[in-house]
Amino acid sequence: MVNKIDCTILTPERVLFEGEIGFAVVQAHNGEMGFLYNHSPLISELGVGEVRLRDEKSTKHFIVEGGAVEIRDNKLIILAENAIPKAELNITEIEKRLKELSEVDVKKFSEESMMLQAETYKMKMRLKVAKR
């Protein structure tokens, strides 16, 4: 296959992935978004969720927690605020954290409960990716 996208996943801490892939799926702000060769230039906000990078043989999974994505001239750049590859996720640790979070008691609709919800959601997404 010749038609490949040049893909880079960046976080402020490191360059997470750099290479050519055939097909990419990212979690945009309100749903998943796929990119193939010759996609028109686009900038989008990212939500918390999974990023899948596929070429003919394998699929790589990442979890991206907020950021932005840009594609132009078949160069896909994912600017993540925080991103972790699947290999670095630890299922037992995430489950432990989820359990801890479920035990925290906060007032409904307060700022803390919102933050708790966001954190729980993040962990759930991490778990989903880790179990892939």
Q: Which stretch binds other proteins (CB under 8 A): 4-12, 50-58, 104-112, 122-130?
A: 4-12
Least Cβ distance, residue 57 to other proteins (angstroms): 27
CA 101/CA 78 separation, integer angstroms: 29
Least Cβ distance, residue 72 to other proteins (angstroms): 6
Give, in degrees to the nearest 5, the angle at Cα 39 between 54 and 70: 80
Cβ distance 94 to 127 under 8 Å?
yes
Q: Enumerate binding residues for other proteins (CB under 8 A).
A: 8, 10-15, 28-30, 33, 40-45, 67-68, 70, 72, 77, 79, 81-82
